[in-house]
Every structure is written in structure tokens, then in C-alpha cells.
Structure 1
Amino acid sequence: MPAQTQPPVAGRWLWTCRAGFESHLFEELAWAGAAPRLLGDALVESERSPSPPPAFARAGYQVVASLPPGAPEVLAEAAARSIGVLPGAGPWVLQSFTPDSPRGNPLATTAEALEAAVKARLPSERLLEDGGRAKESGARLVALCVAPDGVTVVGSVFAREALSLAPGGRRRMRREVESPSRAAMKLEEALDGLAFEPGRGDVCVDLGAAPGGWTQRLVARGARVVAVDPAKLMPELASHGRVKHVQESAFAYAPEEPADWLFCDMAWRPLEVAQLLAKWGRRGWASHLVANIKLPMKDKNPVLVRVRHTLVEEGGWEGLTVRQLYHDRDEVTVTAHRLR
């Protein structure tokens, strides 16, 4: 890691990640032949955007400009000029963020002030205030990254190609008062990134459900849930009319009929969980998959390669995404679908 934050090169890609996972993101990009470079805490640069996208990246932007240090009004003018020459006539969604690190987070107020100053210098008719409509409107996300050591970066990516619509990929979910654990926020963030989510009447199987964080959020959406776990659920879920608690091991359970959705958040060895999820795909037991895979302390990328292979080649799951989301720790969230 460099002693000071390094500015990225225009035309290359800037990636954000969870602090402490820079080496894993670097390795992932290196394996993809993307010529990565460590820039500083929670920031990695690469020559290009690989396919599939890196699992350890929260967000990625093509660098428009690295601005030289200067007074706030000078930075705002320079940022506005660099944004103004972006090709295309579609709308912009302007966002600011800081690296998610002890040195980056105190710069949040500076980043917000810069965003406001740049917005004041851009044509209002080009700015889209409702970021939730960014994809369907063909908008471009324009990011202002304010990093330590005087590094300020302007980057952009089309919303339909973005890893996350949240600034810097930091999608903070609100924890419901009744939620029994942090797990509920992981599920909410995972569903937030999908084109659609479980709804009223959908049949969901929740493997490793106890104490019920994911089951609770699915029931709140109107779904019917088969919660599979030898341990007990919260009393209000155990007696809920749309919850069926099957008290047995997830590895032994077989559904009576195919489900619409398969969910899994088990603290278990990653390759064994991947094999379990592959069995569900291979046998056509579910149409959609959302699962959290715990990662080992070492060799995270080799494990992810095997997880991908198991789910796709052995399980037949399609459209696989593997992401370390904001609410994930030593884990990744996978999503996929399968035609019955």
C-alpha cells in the first residue's frame, strides 16, 4: 500500500472496496489481466473493466480526470469543465463519495460541499435528481471522489453498467427495529440490486433461517416462506401463517415442490454451501437464487473461482453475480436464476 493516496490515470478505471480488501481486489484484477495498481485505502486502479466484474469491488468508474490540489472553488470549476465535455446528450446523476476508511470518512463534508458547488456550475436540465430512475433514463453516473492527501477524481459510468447506483457503492440499508440481526440488511441490499424481488404469494425457501432475519423480511414482502433450520425461529415467525418451519439440516432437506426463490445465509464452509446450491439448480428446485457465501481468512480468490464453477457448471445457474456488498464482511453475496 502506498504511503500516500495516489491519483489514478485518466482513461483507466477506479474501483472502491471495503478497507482491508484492497489486496483481494488487486489480485482479482491481476488475474483478469487488467493491470491493477494500489492507490490507497479502499481504492484500486485498473487498465480496464473486466468481465465478469470483480467481486470485491463496490463500485467502478472510468476516470475522467484527476484534479490537481487547489482551493474549493478552483476544484469545482475544474470538475465542472471535465464533466461538461463528456460525450452524449443523456442526463447526469452527480454523486460524491470518500474512500470508506478511517482517513477517508472525515472528508465526507468536503465531498458534499464539492458536489453542491459542481452542481451549481452545471446546466440544471442535464442533472437527474432521482437516481432511482438512472438506468431507465440512460443516465450517466458522474462521481466525485474526494480522497486523502489532496486527491480528487472525476469518474463516470453509465447507470445501466454500474455495479451500484449508490455513491462509491456504499448502499446503507436501514435496520428495522424488529430485525433480529445484521443479516436482514444484507438481504435488503442484495434485493435492492435486482430487477425484481419476491412478492405477494411467491414461495421462498430460506436455508439456515434461524433466528429469522431473512425470513422476516420476505414475509414483510408478502411471500410464503419455508424456513429450514434445526434451531428455533423468533416466536412471532414460528407462529406466522405464511411461515412453515422445517427443523432439519439444510443439507438433508428436499422441497415437496419447486420454489420461486431460494435464499441461503449459513455460517458454513463455502464450497459445501456452493455444492448445496448447485444441487438446487441442477434439480430445478428453485427459479431464483440469493445467497451469502462466507469466505476463508486466506485464499479468498481461489475459493471464489471454485464457487463460480460449482454454481454455473455443476448447478446450471445463469446470470450469476458475485459481489461483496456494503453490508458484507468476510463474505460475498451471489444472485442467479434458472429456468425450470
Structure 2
Amino acid sequence: MPARTLAARPGRWLWTCRAGFEAHLFEELEWAGAEPRLLGEALVESDAVSGPPPAFARAGYQVAATLTATNPEAIADAAARAVLALPGRTPWAVQAFTPDTPRGNALAPVAEALESAVSARLPAERRIEDAQRAREAGALLVSLCVAPDEVTVVGAVHAREAVSLAAGGRRRMRRAGDAPSRAAMKLEEALDGLAFEPGRGDVCVDLGAAPGGWTQRLVSRGAKVVAVDPARLMPELTGNPRVKHVQESAFAYAPDEPADWLFCDMAWRPLEVAQLLAKWGRRGWAQHLVANIKLPMKDKNPILLRVRHTLGQEGGWEGLTVRQLYHDRDEVTVTAHKMK
């Protein structure tokens, strides 16, 4: 790790990640031939990546400028000039963030003030206040990364191509009072990135459902859920007419008819879970997939390669995404679908 945060090079890409996972992200980028460089905690730089984004990247932006001024007004002026110099006449949504580290988090008030100052310096007719609206409008997401050691990076990405719409990929959520665990937030974040979500009347299968965090959130959306787990569900789910609890192993279960959605958050060996999900894909038992794959081992990328191969080549799942979300820890979230 560099002793001080390094300046990102314009034209390259700045990637953010979970602190402690820099080596995994670096390795992914190295395997992709993108010549990565570690800038500091939770920050990695590389050339552009062809194909799917790295699994361990929370967000990625093409670097427009790195600013090293210390005066807040001078930084805001320089950042606004960098935004105005971006090619084209595309509107922008401006977001500021800090690396997700103790040193970075201490700079949150600075980042918030910079976002307001830069936005005020940009023409109102080209500003979009919301990242989701920026995606709908085909606009740019402009990032202001306020890093330790007086390094500020201005970057941009087309909102429709962004790894995450959240600033720096930090999709914060309040933990619902009735949610049994962090699992509910993981599911909400995973669904947040999909073009559409399970809704009223959809049939969902939740493998390894107990105690019911994912089942609870799906039912709240109006879906019908087959919860598969030998263990008990939370009491409020056992009497819910939209929940059918099948008390058997997820590896032994076979549905009576295909489901709209397959969900899985099992604390089990990753390759065995991937093989189970591949079986559902081959047999056409579900149309859409959202699963969490645990990665407790030190060498994670070789396992992820095998998981991707198992799901895509052996299971026939398409549109496969593999990402470590903000609420993931030693795990990644997978989404995919089957063509009708």
C-alpha cells in the first residue's frame, strides 16, 4: 500500500472497492491486461476494461483530472473547469464521495461541501440532480473523489454504463426495523441494479431461506414465495398466505412448476452452490436469478472464474453479472436471466 494516496492519471480509470479487497481487484484488472496501479486504500487505477466490469469494483470512472490544491475555493474552481471541459454537451449529475476507509470517511464533510460548490459553478440547464434521472436521460455521472493526502479526482462515466448509481458505489440503506439481518439490505441493493424487479403475483423460490430475510422482502413487494430450508422461518412468515415453507434441503428440492425468480443466499461452499444454480438454469426451472456466493477463501478470483463458467457455460444463464456490493462482505452477488 502506498504511504500516501497517489494521484490518478487522466484518461485512465479509477475504481473503488471494499477496504481490504484491493489485491483482489488489482488481480482481476491484471488478468484483464489493464495494467492496474494501487493508489491507496480502496482505490485502484487501470486502463479501460473490455467486457464485464471487475467483480470487486464498487464503482468505476474515467479520470478527467486530479487536483492537488488545498484551498477549497481553488479546488471547486478547478473541478468545475474539469467538468466543463468534458467532451460533448451531455448533461451531468454530480456526486462527491470519499474512499470507504477510516481516513476517507473523516473527509465526508469536505466531500459534501465540494459537491455543493462545484454544482453551483455549473450551468443549471445542464445539471441533473438525481443519478437515476441521469440514467434515464442518458447523462453523465460526474464523480468527485475526495481522498486522503489532499488528492481530489474528477471522473465521469455514462450513467447507463455505470457499475453503480450510488456515489463511489456506496449504496447506503437504513436497516428496516423488522428486517432479521443484513441479508435484507443485500437483497434490496441487488434488486436496485436490475432493469425490473419481482412484483405482485410473481412466483419466487428462496433457497436456504431461513430465518427469512429475503423471503420477507419479496413478500413485502407482493410476490409469492416458496421458502426452501429445513430450519424454521421467523414467526410472522409462517402464517403468511403468500409463503409456502418447504422444509428440506435446497439441494434435494425440485419445483412442481417453473418459477419467475430464483433467489439463493446459502452459507455453503461456492462451487457446490454454483452447480445447484446451474442445474436450475439447465432445467429451465426459473426465469431470473439473484444469488449470493460466499468466498471465505484467501484466493478468490480462481473460484470466481469457475463460478462464472459453471453458471454461464454449464447452466445456460445469460446476462451474468458478478459484483461485490456495498452490503456484501466475503461474498459476491450474482444476477442472470434465461431467454424465453
TM-score of the alignment, normalized to the shorter chain, above 0.5: yes
Residue in 2 aligned with 1:16? 16
Query: What is the CA-CA distance between 1:68 and the residue it aligns to?
Result: 2.1
What amino acid is the match of 2:218? L
What amino acid is the match of 1:64? A
TM-score when normalising by structure 1: 0.99
User: Contact 2:57–2:323 at 8 Å: present in 1 too?
Assistant: yes
What amino acid is the match of 1:18? R
Q: Deviations over 1:57-99 (max 9, x none)?
A: 0000000000122300000110011110111212100000000
User: Contact 2:131–2:159 at 8 Å: present in 1 too?
Assistant: no
Instruction: Indicate yes or no: 2:109 matched with 1:109.
Output: yes
Query: What is the CA-CA distance between 1:235 and the residue it aligns to?
Result: 1.0
Residue in 2 aligned with 1:209? 209
Instruction: Indicate yes or no: 2:78 matched with 1:70.
Output: no
Residue in 1 aligned with 2:200? 200
**Structure 2 counterpart SS, 1:181:** coil
User: Contact 1:64–1:82 at 8 Å: present in 2 too?
Assistant: yes
1:1-340 matches, within 5 Å, as: 1-340=1-340
Q: Deviations over 1:35-72 (max 9, x none)?
A: 00000000000011332110000000000000122300
What amino acid is the match of 2:205? V
User: Contact 1:29–1:50 at 8 Å: present in 2 too?
Assistant: no
Q: Deviations over 1:248-294 (max 9, x none)?
A: 00000000000000000000000000000000000000000000000
The CA distance in 2 between the partners of 1:49 and 1:117, in whole Å, is 32
**Percent of paired sites with the same residue:** 79
The CA distance in 1 between the partners of 2:322 and 2:112, in whole Å, is 30
User: Contact 2:32–2:49 at 8 Å: present in 1 too?
Assistant: no
Query: What is the CA-CA distance between 1:334 and the residue it aligns to?
Result: 0.2
The CA distance in 2 between the partners of 1:136 and 1:146, in whole Å, is 27
The CA distance in 2 between the partners of 1:285 and 1:244, in whole Å, is 17
What amino acid is the match of 1:9? R
**Structure 2 counterpart SS, 1:104:** helix
Query: What is the CA-CA distance between 1:297 and the residue it aligns to?
Result: 2.4
Query: What is the CA-CA distance between 1:145 and the residue it aligns to?
Result: 0.3
The CA distance in 2 between the partners of 1:310 and 1:28, in whole Å, is 18
Structure 1, unmatched stretches of 5+, are: none
Between the two proteins, the alignment pairs up a number of residues equal to 340
Query: What is the CA-CA distance between 1:298 and the residue it aligns to?
Result: 1.3
The CA distance in 2 between the partners of 1:248 and 1:339, in whole Å, is 29
Alpha-carbon RMSD across the aligned residues, in angstroms, is 0.7
